[in-house]
Structure 1
Amino acid sequence: MPQRIVDRRGFLKDVGVAGAALAMGPLLTACEPEGGGGGGAGGDGPIRIGGMWLLSGALSAYGEFAREGANMAVEELNDDGGVLGREVEMLFEHEGDAESVLQVTRRLALEENVDFLMGLDSSGTAQALVPAIPELGKVLMVTHAASNEITGELCNRYVFRCSVNVPQNCYLGAQLAAEEYPDLQTWGTIGPDYAFGYETWEFFSRYLQERNLEVSVIDPIYPPFPNEDFSSHINQALDARPDGLFVSLWGADLVNFVRQAQDFGLFDQITPIFQLGAAMEVLEGLGNEMPTGYWAGTRYWWDGIDSETNQRFVDAFRERYDHPPSYNAQCAYTGVMLLAAAAEEAGTTEADPVIDALEGIEFDAPQGPTVIRAEDHQALVEPTWGKLADSPDEDFMILDPVVHAPADEATPPVGETNCEME
C-alpha cells in the first residue's frame, strides 16, 4: 500500500482551518455520565477517545505525562475546529493489571461508547488485552507498551502502535554496546520479571552477539516487578561480575535500583547501559543522583529531533506544563493526532475505514517521520539513545550526544515478527 504523508499543519489545513495555533487553555478531560457521551462511529456528537495508562501507584508519572500529551492534542484539535466537524473528547482510565484492563476496556467500548481506544504502559497488560480487541470492534492505538508480540505474534487488524518497540530500542542499544565498549566481553542483565524484561534481554543479547562474536552472556537476573529492595540482585550481579550490565528496569524500579547500586559501588565495577534510563520520569526522579557518562535509551528525547514539528511541540508543552515532554507525553500526543488524521481521511470514525486509512500512513510527528507499516501495524520510527550528561540549564541529567538508528534498519522485517494479520 502506498504511503500517504500527513503532517499536523497540513492535516489541520486540509480540514478547513488556517494555521495550527497551539492552545494553552485548561486541561480537557471530558468524562460524562455513563451512556451520555453521544459518541460512536458515524454519530454527530463528540468523537470520544478512551485512554488507558498507569494513572495511580508507583508508576503513575508515566500516566500523568501521557494525560498531558493527549490533552494537549485534543485541545489543539478542538481549537482548530475538531475532527469531521465534531469536538473531540478524551476519557482517562487507570489501566491496572492484566485482569482489570479487560474490564476497563469493555466499559469504555460498550458503556461509554468511545470511538477509539489508546494508551497502555505495561507490556504484560497489553499482551492480555490485544487478543480481546477484535471482539469490541474498536481501533486500539498502543502508545507505550513495547513488547514485540503486540505487533508480532498477537497482531490483529484493530491494533496499531505508534511508538518504538523492544527490538528497535535494543538494536541501537546493542550497536552502542558493541562500538563503545568493544573490550567488554561478558554481559548480563537486570530486568523486570515479566514479558518486557525477557524480550529486552532476548533481543539485546542476540543483536550484541551478532555484532561481536566474542561476547558471552551470563544468566539473567529478574527481580520481581514492581520492587523496592534490589540488594540481593545487586549482590548477585557483583558475584557474577560481568563486564557489562544491560539494565531494563524502568520507572520507580529503576530509580530505586540506581540509588541502591550507587551505594553498593556496582557501577564502579561493572559498566551499565540503561535501556530506559533517559525517560523523563526517571531523570526527574533521580535528579543529580543519576550517574553521568553512561549510555541510556528512550523512545523519544525532547531535545534530540531537529525539526519544526518537534520544536513547536516542545515549546507549547513547556509553556503549558512548565517542564519538557517525556516520551510518553509525545507518544500520547502523536497517537491522538494519528487517529484524528485517519478519521479525517476515512470521513468517518467507523473502524474498517479508519484501519484502511492508518495502514501505510506516514505522519510528521514530534518524534520524527513515522510510518505505520501496513503488514503488522508497527510504527517505523528511529530509536533514540544518548549519553547521560550534566546540564547547566536543567535540574536533571540530559543526553549529550543523542544518537538515532534508521528505522528501516532497527525494525525487524515483517517476516521475522510472526505477525499473521487476519
Structure 2
Amino acid sequence: MSRHSLTTLLAAISTASMLASSPAQAEDPIRIGGIYLLSGSAATYGEFAKQGATLAINEVNAKGGVLGRKLELQLEDGQGKAATAIQLARKMVYQDKVDILMGIDSSGVAQGLVPVLPDLGKPLMITHAATPAVTGKQCNKYAFRISVNVTQMMSGGAQIAAKSGATKWTTIGPDYAFGHESWEYFSNYLKAAKPDVVLMNDHLAFPRFGAEDYTPFIDSVMQSKPDGVLISLWGGDLVNFVRQANEKGFFKQGYKVFMNVGAATEVLTALGDQMPEGVWLGTRYWYGSWDTPMNKHFVKTYKETYKLPPSYNAEGAYTAIYAFKAAFEKAGSTDPDKVIDALAGLTFQAPTGDLTFRKGDHQALIGPTWGLTGPMNTEDKIRSLTQVQNFDGVKVTPPVDPACKM
C-alpha cells in the first residue's frame, strides 16, 4: 500500500469514528444530582420535590430536551445530616459525573454543604433550606437559592403580626439554625414595625428536630401567657405539635398564632381538619394564589399526575429545573463556570411570575405567601387560606449582606 493510500485509509477510519461517536455524545444526558430528605419524619418534603422535578424534566424532555440533550435526575437521601449530604455530593460529582446539584431541605445541612462547593466545582440550586447564611456570610459563586429565605419570610410575617393586636410574643421552633434564625429575624422586623412589642426571653421553646413529645414545650409557653406565638416547626414535627397542642387546648387560649411554614400542603394534608381555623400560616408558595399561565398549567398538570395539590417544595424543584434550562440555553453549554455566569442576574419565567437571581448573592428575589386558615377545602381535603397576601420579593429582600464575598 502506498503512503497516499494509507493516509487516505486512516483519514476515512478517523472520519467514520467521529461520525459514529458524535450521535452518542450528543445523546449523553445532562445529569442533575438532587439531595433531599427521603426518609424520616420529613420524607414527604423529598417526595414532593421528586415529583416537582420529575414533572418539569418530563415536560422539557418531551420538547426535545436542552441543547439537544435529555435531562436526567438522580436523587439521594441526605437524611438531614450535613456529613451525609457532603459525602453524597462528592459521590455525585466525582463518581456519577453530574453536571449540576439541587435540593437541600435543612438549613443546618445547607450551612455544612455550601462551603464545600468550591472544591466540587459545580453549581448548587437550593430549593428549600432557608438560612440566610448560605446567600449571606457563607455565600460563594456556586450557591444559588430559588426559594424564600428566613429574612424574606419573616419580613412578610412581621408586617401582619404588627397589625394583629398582640404585644407579648414568644416562639416554639426547632433547636437549630432555622428555629433560632426565624425568631431572631421575626423579632427584629416586628420590633421595627411595632416598637412597643415585648419579646420574651424566658419560656422560649426550642425542641430538638425530630422530637416526638412536645407537651413540656407547649406547657411552658402556655404558662408564660403570651399574646402571640411564632411557630417555626415544620414537616412531621409540626404535624405532631399541632395534634398535641389541640389536646392541651393551646389554640383555644386566644393567642395570635403564626406558623412560619404551616401552609406546606404536606402538613395540611396530614392534619386535615385538625389544623385549626383562625391561625396565620406562611409558605414559600401557595398553589391557589398565583394567576399566571405557567402556574395554572403547573397546578393542573400536577393534580392530574399526582392527585394532590402541589406543595412549595414541589414548586421549588419544578422551578429549579426551568431555571437551569434557561441558564444552559443562555450559556449554550453545561460548563459550570458558564452556567454560573448565566444564572447570576438571570430573569426567567416561574409559576409565580418573572423571577430574578440577584447578582450580588445569588438569592432569588421572591416573596412569601401568608394566609389565615379558613374552612376545609373539600376538593383538596386541606384547610383553605383566607386573607391571602403574596409579598413582593424585591420589597421583602434585605440588601446584600456585606459579609457576602463572591
Shift of 1:417: 5.8
The equivalent of 1:242 in structure 2 is 226
Find 2:62's aligned residue among 79, 89, 98: 79
The equivalent of 2:372 in structure 1 is 387
Distance 2:270 2:229 in 1: 22
Work out whether residues 369 and 381 of structure 1, in 8 Å CA contact, stay in contact via their aligned partners in 2. no
Shift of 1:318: 0.7
Distance 1:43 1:223 in 2: 51
Deviation readout 1:104-147 (Å, 9 max, x if unpaired): 11000100000000000001001000000111110100000000
Distance 2:223 2:371 in 1: 29
SS in structure 2 at match of 1:99: helix
Work out whether residues 292 and 352 of structure 2, in 8 Å CA contact, stay in contact via their aligned partners in 1. no
Distance 1:369 1:282 in 2: 28
Deviation beyond 6 Å, 4+ runs, structure 1: none
Find 2:36's aligned residue among 43, 53, 67: 53
| TM-score (ref. length: structure 2) | 0.91
Shift of 1:99: 1.1
Distance 1:398 1:122 in 2: 27
Q: Is 1:191 the equivalent of 2:176?
A: no
Find 2:190's aligned residue among 208, 228, 232: 208
Shift of 1:340: 1.3
Shift of 1:44: 5.5
CA 1:397–1:272: 2 relative to 1, 3 Å: same
Structure 2 counterpart of 1:115, one-letter code:
D
Distance 1:104 1:43 in 2: 27
Distance 1:274 1:249 in 2: 8
Q: Is 1:231 the equivalent of 2:211?
A: no
SS in structure 1 at match of 2:405: coil
Work out whether residues 30 and 69 of structure 2, in 8 Å CA contact, stay in contact via their aligned partners in 1. yes
Q: Is 1:407 the equivalent of 2:390?
A: no
Q: Is 1:172 the equivalent of 2:156?
A: yes
Deviation readout 1:20-71 (Å, 9 max, x if unpaired): xxxxxxxxxxxxxxxxxx9xxx975110000110011111000000000000
Shift of 1:185: 1.0
Distance 1:234 1:417 in 2: 38
Distance 1:113 1:351 in 2: 12
Distance 2:167 2:50 in 1: 42
Distance 1:178 1:418 in 2: 29
Distance 1:231 1:221 in 2: 11
Deviation readout 1:298-346 (Å, 9 max, x if unpaired): 0000001111110011111111111111000000001111111101110
Shift of 1:400: 1.6
Q: Is 1:93 the equivalent of 2:93?
A: no
Structure 1 counterpart of 2:250, one-letter code:
L
SS in structure 2 at match of 1:293: coil
SS in structure 1 at match of 2:381: coil
Work out whether residues 330 and 367 of structure 1, in 8 Å CA contact, stay in contact via their aligned partners in 2. no
Shift of 1:418: 2.7
| TM-score (ref. length: structure 1) | 0.88
The equivalent of 2:53 in structure 1 is 70
SS in structure 2 at match of 1:400: strand
Find 2:356's aligned residue among 371, 379, 382: 371
SS in structure 1 at match of 2:394: helix
Q: Is 1:135 the equivalent of 2:119?
A: yes
Q: Is 1:148 the equivalent of 2:132?
A: yes
Structure with the larger helix share = 2
The equivalent of 1:362 in structure 2 is 347
Q: Is 1:115 the equivalent of 2:77?
A: no
Distance 2:383 2:350 in 1: 25
Shift of 1:368: 2.6
CA 1:217–1:177: 2 relative to 1, 3 Å: same
Distance 1:155 1:356 in 2: 15
User: Which is greater in Rg?
Assistant: 2
Shift of 1:101: 0.8
The equivalent of 2:286 in structure 1 is 301
Distance 2:87 2:283 in 1: 30
CA RMSD of aligned residues (A): 1.3
Structure 2 counterpart of 1:275, one-letter code:
N
Structure 2 counterpart of 1:301, one-letter code:
W
The equivalent of 2:13 in structure 1 is none
Shift of 1:401: 2.5
In structure 2, stretches of 5+ residues that fail to align are: 1-20
Distance 1:43 1:217 in 2: 59
Deviation readout 1:364-405 (Å, 9 max, x if unpaired): 101332110011000001211111111243311121221012
Distance 1:320 1:393 in 2: 16
What is the percentage of aligned positions where both structures have the same residue?
A: 48
Structure 2 counterpart of 1:341, one-letter code:
A
Distance 1:319 1:344 in 2: 29
Structure 2 counterpart of 1:192, one-letter code:
P
The equivalent of 1:217 in structure 2 is 199
Distance 1:197 1:417 in 2: 23
Work out whether residues 368 and 381 of structure 1, in 8 Å CA contact, stay in contact via their aligned partners in 2. no
SS in structure 2 at match of 1:75: helix
Work out whether residues 26 and 69 of structure 2, in 8 Å CA contact, stay in contact via their aligned partners in 1. no
The equivalent of 1:338 in structure 2 is 323
CA 1:417–1:364: 2 relative to 1, 3 Å: farther
Distance 2:154 2:395 in 1: 12
Structure 2 counterpart of 1:207, one-letter code:
Y
SS in structure 2 at match of 1:380: coil
Q: Is 1:419 the equivalent of 2:404?
A: yes
The equivalent of 2:269 in structure 1 is 284
